[in-house]
Chain A
Amino acid sequence: MTTLTLAKALNAGLRRALAGDDKVVLMGEDIGTLGGVFRVTDGLKAEFGAHRVVDTPLSEAGILGTAVGLAYRGFRPVVEIQFDGFIYPGFDQIVAQVAKLHYRSRGNVRMPLTIRVPFGGGIGAAEHHSESPEAYFAHTAGLRVVACSDPADAYVMIQQAIAGDDPVLFFEPKRRYHVRGDVDETASLADARPLGVASLVASGSDVTLVTYGALVQTARDAAIAAAEDGVSIEVIDLRSLAPVDYPTVEASVRRTGRLVIAHEAGQQGGVGAELAASITERCFEFLEAAPVRVTGHDIPYPPAKLERHHLPDLDRILDGVDRALGRPNSLSGVEA
């Protein structure tokens, strides 16, 4: 075991992917000489060369579209989108090309792209630097969407995403890049938890709290705080947003009878909406209360000095837990 930050764990995973398959190429803005604005690709250009770790012109559509061409040629491109809010110029290439070419070619052309996206807020950044665009991609057939939350998972998941034959949107919780954790760099991928499987990160019996990315740590903290108050929260790190590992979530909800979903992204049409609907369909008779969503507001990401009023934090999550449990909460007495 080594202790690494989440950013360094991703770096180690990328290094191992580059070393293991010469068709893996990294592409993005400032990822080579600079090592990426978050240093996730630090040192990789020096180690593997400018044809494996490619500094590209400043064009997200250009990066993604040329990555599609490289995939046609048999490469496994790993694309870095510098910040979440910069992905939209590449949206057409992702939705119309990356997601659909396997289908459109009747399985003849594979698109094993990994599209890395530092996502989410909480770092006091300028506008367009703190967004959570995952629902757009979860809505798009042909893509897989995952989010890592800690160094050990980041190290394994990035390698699994690259090795897989389907395109993956790989969301990295940027405010957790510097969180440290133990990483087993000798572990075999074959023995690791599959990319599509959720992780039970805290056991509990009163309510199931499902989240992903940066909020996993917040949810753990909420569970500890609630325990002092006599409430037992089970925390699930979803890890894969498309497809969702419903068996894991269902098994938990069948035990607890209550579901809270938390994410930084807005509520409307979000991952939480899909989870609430699907869990209601799948285990309605086990639910003691309606599923509760604790999310960012349906607003453009606010200025840095307001972001604490946008992002779900420990107290807002606990307020949501109280709603699910029918305990006094901010909406007590308010008709839904």
Chain B
Amino acid sequence: MTPSDRDATGLLTRPDQFVQLVTPGGERRHDAEYDPWVADVDSTALGRLYRDMAIVRRLDTEATALQRQGELGLWPPLAGQEAAQIGSARALRDDDFVFTSYREHGVAWCRGVGPAELLTVWRGSAASGWNPYERGMAVPQIIIGAQALHATGYAMGLAWEGSDAASVAYFGDGATSEGDVNEALVFAASFDAPVVFFCQNNQWAISEPVGLQSKQPLARRADGFGMPGIRVDGNDVLAVLAATRVALDRARRGGGPTFIEAVTYRIGPHTTADDPKRYRTDDELVEWGTRDPLTRVLALLAASGVDTDALEGEVADEAGRAAAELRTAVTTIPDPEPMSVFDHVYAEPNSHLARQRDHYARYLAMFDDADQTPASTSAAATQAEGGAR
């Protein structure tokens, strides 16, 4: 049996098996349990969610172009996952803290991460783009699933301090096979940690379908760990917002962790170094194209009497300006000084590294022209061969 055969019943993606408040056609579905959590979301608020999604989609397109033009070493596109990221991150408070993987550019947008901050790592200019404490967002994680434990530990600390803030761990369907994620679920349940496990099931872990990671919907695993699991339409921004609010409210009230599986789809490649044509069909793309997160919101707004042509135009203009700003920002990211390679390895003075640093400084000093040294090799070029999983 191949992994795709395992999903022959469609169990892993069946739309009738998750929380959905807006259908792909833009029809509002009523749900007695989840409607109250988004009762405040009127047409204006929904328009703002649309704006967020449209802007991050445009930024994502621009970043992919910047990679193709050699300005970035690598880029992991978020296209298709806008609702999952915006819906969840817009449920957060400023004093909450998120631990993400490397694809959560939409979450970063909601946390106030600026364009240069967003691209710094992918340009290879520095180890990170922002101060986690200024954005309430940790250094993005490349090691699959490792951040689930960090979010759990952070939440344990919040609980011990008596805070009503919460943490969120963002990870993908592939990460659910990692020990770290499973161990995080054990620790979070045991310590009633105020953490939300937000799994974006985008159907693919590079080339491996979700059916290889699991034979049943991922949200069902929550029960085995002793916490509530919510399976939500990850392309429905309203449903994602509602589900995340439910989970955060439980965390803030001392009710412990929640596992959310947001069923979504990665429209683009895993990263710009990937070729998805080798492992998935055009039919699948067409199928998921009918469940797009943005079009359904426009349809719902139109049905509510909003002039969506005007909205679309305004947002497109704004997104275009944001994209231009991103393009400008990438060139303003300073190239790192060669000797900064030694910075921040330790918080305190370290005799061994100080000596190595001194020796390398002496070596560099032999060159009249700093551009002739190995240290000036293009960071983007050296990173192009690498890649996140």
| Identity of the chain B residue whose Cβ is nearest the Cβ of A95 in the assembled complex | B143
Q: B122: shortest Cβ distance to chain A, in Å? A: 14
A101 vs B353: C-alpha distance when bound (angstroms): 17
Residues on A with beta carbons closer than 8 Å to the beta carbon of B97: 72-73
| Identity of the chain A residue whose Cβ is nearest the Cβ of B151 in the assembled complex | A69
Residue pairs across A and B with Cβ atoms less than 8 A apart, 25 shown, are: A56-B187, A59-B179, A61-B183, A65-B146, A65-B183, A66-B184, A69-B154, A69-B155, A69-B157, A72-B97, A96-B146, A103-B343, A103-B344, A105-B128, A105-B131, A105-B132, A105-B344, A107-B347, A108-B133, A109-B138, A141-B345, A166-B346, A243-B350, A243-B353, A244-B352
Picked from B156, B345, B347, B353, the residue with its CB within 8 Å of the CB of A165 is B347
Interface residues of A in 68-84 (CB under 8 A from B): 68-75
| Identity of the chain B residue whose Cβ is nearest the Cβ of A197 in the assembled complex | B351
Picked from B133, B138, B143, B344, the residue with its CB within 8 Å of the CB of A96 is B143
| Identity of the chain A residue whose Cβ is nearest the Cβ of B189 in the assembled complex | A57
B132 touches A72 (CB 8 A): yes
A72 touches B153 (CB 8 A): yes
Residues on B with beta carbons closer than 8 Å to the beta carbon of A305: none
Residues on A with beta carbons closer than 8 Å to the beta carbon of B46: none
A313 vs B154: C-alpha distance when bound (angstroms): 45
Interface positions of B (Cβ within 8 A of A): 97, 99, 126-128, 131-133, 138-139, 143, 146, 148-158, 160-161, 167, 179-180, 183-184, 186-187, 190, 343-348, 350-353
Residues on A with beta carbons closer than 8 Å to the beta carbon of B183: 57, 59, 61-62, 65
Q: A158: shortest Cβ distance to chain B, in Å? A: 17
Q: B153: shortest Cβ distance to chain A, in Å? A: 2
Instruction: Check if A302 is an interface residue, CB within 8 A of chain B.
Output: no
What does DSSP make chain B's interface, helix, strand, loop or mixed? helix
Task: Report if A75-B348 is in contact (Cβ < 8 Å); known contacts: A56-B187, A97-B150, A104-B139.
Answer: no
Residues on A with beta carbons closer than 8 Å to the beta carbon of B167: 69
A73 vs B193: C-alpha distance when bound (angstroms): 14
A67 touches B153 (CB 8 A): yes
Q: Contacts A69-B99, A102-B346, A106-B131 given; 7 further ones with Cβ under 8 A?
A: A66-B150, A66-B152, A67-B153, A69-B153, A72-B154, A74-B157, A97-B150
Instruction: Check if A303 is an interface residue, CB within 8 A of chain B.
Output: no
A109 touches B139 (CB 8 A): yes
B347 touches A65 (CB 8 A): no
Residues on B with beta carbons closer than 8 Å to the beta carbon of A243: 350-353
